[in-house]
Structure 1
């Protein structure tokens, strides 16, 4: 049994990943604040409440460890807020953005590695990053910083796991510009807060955005067919 744990599974890329993996007879445990589709094997939790996350992973792994041949954690959940120039954003928005985009994936990954230390099957962590972690954009101070942090965290884990007896493979994937609710949030922002607003509106109007379905297909293909160790921890899905 291949077990996939996916955060942000209620919509966008996370929902498509869950649906497509289930169609391949994978065991998928979705994690999100809500379960609007009333999907089975779904855990409702707010990732801002980071104190619950280690126990969550511990319980999932304990439940499936007897049957599982592989475990894959996909840290997909993310938020682009707060959008605004540094000096104009609220402190609570910065705190929440860091919690969801960086603290939660770090805690979940830490728990995943801890609880599976002696598991001899395949173990993978897939962090959904962003080009914003590799390029600076005005108005996205928190988002850029957290995605850059996620990339660098992935590099560190990759180095550490190279020396483990039963290593966890890890990759941080930039999925490109996707037509999801996050893009709607971006387009609803103010150009004073986000100077590149017009560019992102044009992406939608010109049909440049990829669909969540297409992107999920590419990510699953990468997971199934690419050796993480060969590619290294930092990847752009558009290169595959």
Structure 2
């Protein structure tokens, strides 16, 4: 059987990916601060593995413990394939350099970059030890490919995640391993992150009016559409390891 670990699956894109995984008979483990009880109900109805691990990814000790628990549980089931979806992320701090809050900076780097790097490292190690292929999807952003005023930390962490993805994929190819790792830029979606963005001050984020207009004009895609576009591509089995996919390519 196939299994998946999904971070940040309590709502938004992560929740929709998790629902599709269950619909495709893929057992899931989720890691987030809060649990999505709908996922538990779906899994129970279908008789699939579902386990939630409560964890704040900004807490280093909690994150390490959660990652180890998830890896032990998944690879102990001798799966035919494991999906790792590094979806959890934070847009904060939205502020210009010189006015950044130190704790927000540290939390953002831990959630957006350190956590997916450590999870990827652990899961590739375990996958090699158990001779299990693994497909890793790092949820990135267009912000990782261009500077956006007020988003210096978010842009930087996503750019670093993209480079990590490309480098790790190159290493796996060189080693002759079957693992695949990609990044996926989902575009602007109607999520809580957009609420945070729209509530920013114009002083901190010059483009706040543009993002408010996205909502007013219905330009935000639903997480359901984005998640299913990604899942369709994954289930095709044709992903190009090391590539940074963008939602417009998949729709």
Q: Same fold (TM over 0.5)?
A: yes
Correspondence 1:139-158 to 2 at 5 A:
139-158=150-169
TM-score with structure 1 setting the length: 0.94
Match of 1:68 in 2: 79
Match of 2:206 in 1: 195
Gaps of 5+ in 1: none
2:15 counterpart of 1:15? yes
1-structure distance, mates of 2:62, 2:36:
21
Residue-pair matches, total: 239
Match of 1:30 in 2: 30
How far apart are 1:15 and its partner, in Å? Answer: 0.7
2-structure distance, mates of 1:156, 1:37:
36
Q: How well do the aligned residues superpose, as a CA RMSD in angstroms?
A: 1.6
2-structure distance, mates of 1:24, 1:169:
20
Partner deviation per Cα, 1:114-144 (whole Å, 9 max, x = no partner): 1111333431110000000011100001100
2:123 counterpart of 1:109? no
1-structure distance, mates of 2:7, 2:242:
23
Segment of structure 1 superposing worse, 174-183 or 38-47: 38-47
2-structure distance, mates of 1:35, 1:221:
25
Give yes or no for contact 1:53–1:108 (8 Å, CA) kept in 2. Answer: no
Correspondence 1:176-191 to 2 at 5 A:
176-191=187-202
How far apart are 1:235 and its partner, in Å? Answer: 1.4
Match of 2:98 in 1: 87
Give yes or no for contact 1:127–1:173 (8 Å, CA) kept in 2. Answer: yes
Match of 1:175 in 2: 186
2:139 counterpart of 1:128? yes
Match of 1:57 in 2: 67
TM-score with structure 2 setting the length: 0.90
Match of 2:44 in 1: none
Give yes or no for contact 1:119–1:166 (8 Å, CA) kept in 2. Answer: no
How far apart are 1:36 and its partner, in Å? Answer: 4.5
